[in-house]
Structure 1
Amino acid sequence: MAELTPAQIAGLKLARDGDLYPQAAGKWTHENATVTYAKTDRWKERPQKIKTVTAKTLVDLCEHGFVERRNLTDDGTTDTYGITMGGKIWLLQNK
């Protein structure tokens, strides 16, 4: 069983929600990610931070086999990544 850091677990959960696309400054997040607002805020809407994964965390998840490239283009820095069945099973076993 692979031991993951909290940042890797957060990245795996983010990949579970959808494919990860490259963004600026070596970050990866969902395609067309925008700032969202808290619906439960009583007084005013507060912006919620866009969740991202660093390139290093993404490489670590690929080495464990929990995330894989989708399109297999020539350059891995511009390709999309998605969660594998192994990643989904790891999340189910380690909530």
Structure 2
Amino acid sequence: MNAKTTTNAIPLSVTLTPAEIRALKLAKDGDLYPQDAKRWTHLNATVTYARTDRFKERPIKVKVVTTATLEQLRDYGLVRSLDPEIGSSQPAHAITMAGKMWLLKHK
């Protein structure tokens, strides 16, 4: 077994909590940017409405991730910072290939 296979296999064996899985799926949909109160979500995220709701009465809330959950995913190597020079909490974060592979394997 070569080193590339070994490094890719390490994040795939990680067991994630339901909150971490939701955060990883949110990161898969797009990059996560910092918001107020230690929360992260997509850039310019707004409240949306269900496509089947023609009167727009039931809003779908903006999905957010806490900083602690994002840091845990970054420690596992499933999410990475887009600009590592700024620091860990300020730049946007994106899902890594290991994170995509984890979702494919555990879906």
1:72 to partner: Cα distance: 1.6
Percent of aligned pairs with the same amino acid: 53
CA distance in 1, matches of 2:77, 2:87: 19
User: In structure 1, which of residues 33, 37, 43 is the aligned counterpart of residue 45 of structure 2?
Assistant: 33
Q: Normalised by the size of structure 1, how large is the TM-score?
A: 0.94
Larger radius of gyration: 2
Question: Shift of residue 76 of structure 1?
Answer: 2.2
Q: Which digits, 9 at most, give the CA deviation of each residue in 1:63-84, with x for residues without a partner?
A: 1100000012323221100000
Quick one: distance in 2 between partners of 1:39 and 1:50? 15
1:29-88 CA-partner distances (Å, limit 9, x unpaired): 00000010111126x311101000000000000011000000123232211000000000
Partner of 1:92: 104
CA distance in 1, matches of 2:28, 2:87: 23
Structure 2 length normalisation: TM-score? 0.84
AA at the equivalent of 2:70: L
Where does structure 1 lack aligned partners over 5 or more consecutive residues? none
1:20 aligns with 32
Question: Aligned residues, how many?
Answer: 94
Give the root-mean-square deviation of aligned CA atoms. Answer: 1.0
